[in-house]
Amino acid sequence: MYDIIPVAYFQEPDFKKKLYLKKATELTNNLLNKMKLGNDETIEICSSFLFDETRPALWDQYGKERVKVAQIIGQAQDK
């Protein structure tokens, strides 16, 4: 399951306003809601700058014990 941030968010004037950060948080929350996670499932999120606002939002919502920052490598990164 995935979603895409439209390329316009990475072009002026939206890029300068860092609107991609809010869009990343919105899309992440939407995807997590669709996944219907169990209460015991860990959430791993990429360490990229793209998720600089998403990580704190997830920590607030799910707790730092459940949300882990991860380096995404291998097949998950390649696709």
- Confidence category of residue 79, pLDDT binned at 50, 70, 90: low
pLDDT 10s digits, 17-52: 999 999 999 999 999 999 999 999 999 999 999 999
- In a domain, residue 59? The reply is yes
pLDDT score for 55:
98
Tokens of 17: 């306003």
Rounded to an integer, what distance in angstroms lies between the CA atom of residue 15 and that of residue 11? 5
The dihedral of CA 64, 69, 34, 24: what is its sign? Answer: positive
Nearest-angstrom CA–CA distance, 63 and 75 = 27
User: Which range of residues forms the domain containing residue 28?
Assistant: 7-78
What tokens does 56 get?
A: 């704190």
21 within domain boundaries: yes
**Total domain count, the chain:** 1
Tokens 């316009």 belong to residue: 8
2 belongs to a structural domain: no
